[in-house]
Amino acid sequence: MRGLWAGMLLAGCVFAAQAQAQTYGAPITLEQAKKVMAAAEAEMKKNNWAMSIAILDAGGHLVLLQRSDGSQFIGPEVAIDKAFSAVAYKRPGKAFQDRLATGGAEIRILRLKGASPVEGGDPIVADGKIVGAIGVSGGSGEQDGQVSRAGAGALK
């Protein structure tokens, strides 16, 4: 048992060290958030998907949120959770998802407070720093990720 805890602690430290490579910048502005939202919405509409999209600032606070007609009512909550995870842990939800898929000790990810280990949440980077995050919900994981990445890439 002690070995398992030691392994989890070591892996958590490595995980945290990887995240420290990128720093937070000034919080995303409303104008930047609108640009991110427009890019995500364009990708969503191009594919005729009904989704919720949330944009948070670098402190995890909601800046913009939209739920398209026909999307599920829980979508905004899921989108916010995905964005929060991406900004808090400085990595896409897909990174957690891929690590969980390997099994074994990676299951410890499920114990990380606020971590959403599913595709569809991505940090938003401007000038090499994390300024916020986007979360998308309503499609398959791959669809959510496609829209999320389209939005996150709008400031590059």
Tell me the per-residue pLDDT of 77-98, one tens digit each, with 9 for 90 and over.
999 999 999 999 999 999 999 9
- Domains along the sequence of the chain with CATH: 2-155 (3.30.450.150)
100 — pLDDT class (breaks 50, 70, 90)? very high
21 — pLDDT class (breaks 50, 70, 90)? low
Q: Is 80 exceeded by the pLDDT of residue 6?
A: no
The CA-based angle 144-89-100, given to 5 degrees, is 65
As a whole number, mean pLDDT of residues 27-39 equals 98
8 — pLDDT class (breaks 50, 70, 90)? very low
Lay out the sheet containing 121-126: strands in order across: 62-67, 52-57, 129-137, 121-126
